[in-house]
């Protein structure tokens, strides 16, 4: 249900195929972007930044800033005060929401990475009857909109007494088809069979071989899978909104509460929105390069 919508791009291709090295010939020089090209990029960049900056302008003002037609283009000094109103609100439970989101996203990412690597290792490197058919089945399930199973899933969760608990959000996301596909693609080219055989000859059992040889080899792809799963889980709203209640929210659920409670003062609402964006923004600054590489690797040869 919380299944991240990663790009299971290279369904027919190899995730780890090396991008073609570009030749720096005459063709490339002629394709240096012109004024229009740079213009498009600058416009895109402004389109990405301006809404956030505008939100910051409102969030650093007071309740009248939103309705001020001649809004200053420089932030005011109220951001911290507004942020404090968000985190201290008793109905929004901001800190609890951050903690819950951290728990859910971390557990889900760790679990997806572990089980996907395990399954990917099996599909890529172990020989067993039916492996091809089962792998095709895994690929096929990436196209199934499982989100539409919410009604029975909700019924099951309420019968188990899990509604309102983090378990209801965590369990459906513990392993994803995309993760299995991604790790299989990576390991089938990145891990030489000889290494596994060497491990077997040394007397390691199957799981030891996986743990000491397969898993370390999978680390780069596993890190990326973890990163994307974390983001997808952190931003997920539909299912948590249905199954959790406002007294035990994840961050997106708390934000929807914030809007409902404070809809007259958007300086506070938007301060909360920016606070909630901050963790992933930091992640973006630290790992943005990896995010770009991950999306592009998933798509190479598409």
**263-282 positions binding another protein, by CB under 8 A:** 263, 266, 269-270, 273-274, 276-277, 280-281
Q: How far is the CB of 279 from another protein (least distance, A)?
A: 9
Rounded to an integer, what distance in angstroms lies between the CA atom of residue 71 and that of residue 25? 50
Total residues interacting with another protein, rule: CB under 8 A: 142
Among 63, 75, 195, 265, indicate the residue that binds another protein (CB under 8 A): 195
Q: What residues between 214 and 273 interact with another protein by CB under 8 A?
A: 216-221, 224, 231, 234-235, 237-238, 241-242, 251-252, 255-256, 259-260, 263, 266, 269-270, 273
**Residue 183 within binding range of another protein, rule CB under 8 A:** no
Per-residue interface string for the shown chain with another protein, residues 38-77, x marking contact by CB under 8 A: x-xx--xx-xxx-xx-xx--x-------xxxx-x------
Q: How far is the CB of 86 from another protein (least distance, A)?
A: 12
Q: How far is the CB of 180 from another protein (least distance, A)?
A: 5
**Residue 160 within binding range of another protein, rule CB under 8 A:** no
Nearer to another protein, 80 or 288 (CB): 288
Q: What residues between 74 and 93 interact with another protein by CB under 8 A?
A: none
**Among 78-86, 91-99, 102-110, 119-127, the segment contacting another protein (CB under 8 A):** 119-127
Q: How far is the CB of 90 from another protein (least distance, A)?
A: 20
Phi, psi for 2 (deg, rounded to 5): -80, 10
């Amino acid at each position: 249900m919380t299944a991240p919508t990663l790009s299971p791009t290279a369904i027919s291709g190899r995730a780890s195929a090396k991008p073609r090295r570009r030749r720096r010939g005459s063709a490339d020089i002629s394709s240096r972007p012109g004024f229009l090209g740079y213009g498009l990029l600058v416009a895109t960049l402004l389109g990405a930044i301006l809404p956030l900056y505008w939100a910051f302008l409102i969030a650093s003002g007071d309740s009248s800033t939103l309705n001020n037609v001649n809004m200053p283009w420089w932030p005011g000094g109220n951001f911290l005060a507004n942020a404090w109103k968000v985190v201290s609100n008793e109905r929004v439970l901001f800190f609890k929401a951050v903690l819950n989101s951290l728990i859910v996203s971390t557990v889900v990412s760790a679990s997806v990475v572990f089980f996907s690597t395990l399954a990917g290792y099996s599909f890529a490197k172990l020989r067993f009857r039916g492996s091809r058919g089962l792998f095709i089945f895994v690929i096929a399930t990436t196209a199934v909109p499982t989100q539409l199973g919410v009604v029975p899933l909700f019924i099951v969760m309420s019968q188990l007494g899990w509604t309102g608990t983090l378990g209801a959000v965590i369990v459906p996301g513990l392993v994803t088809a995309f993760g299995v596909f991604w790790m299989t693609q990576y390991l089938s080219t990145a891990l030489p069979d000889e290494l596994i055989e060497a491990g077997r000859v040394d007397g390691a059992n199957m799981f030891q071989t996986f743990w000491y040889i397969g898993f370390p080899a999978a680390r780069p792809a596993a890190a990326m899978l973890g990163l994307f799963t974390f983001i997808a889980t952190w931003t997920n709203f539909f299912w948590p909104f249905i199954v959790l209640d406002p007294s035990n929210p994840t961050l997106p659920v708390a934000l929807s509460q914030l809007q409902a409670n404070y809809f007259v003062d958007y300086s506070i609402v938007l301060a909360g929105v920016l606070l909630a964006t901050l963790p992933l923004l930091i992640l973006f600054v630290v790992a943005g390069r990896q995010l770009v590489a991950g999306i592009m690797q998933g798509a190479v040869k598409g």
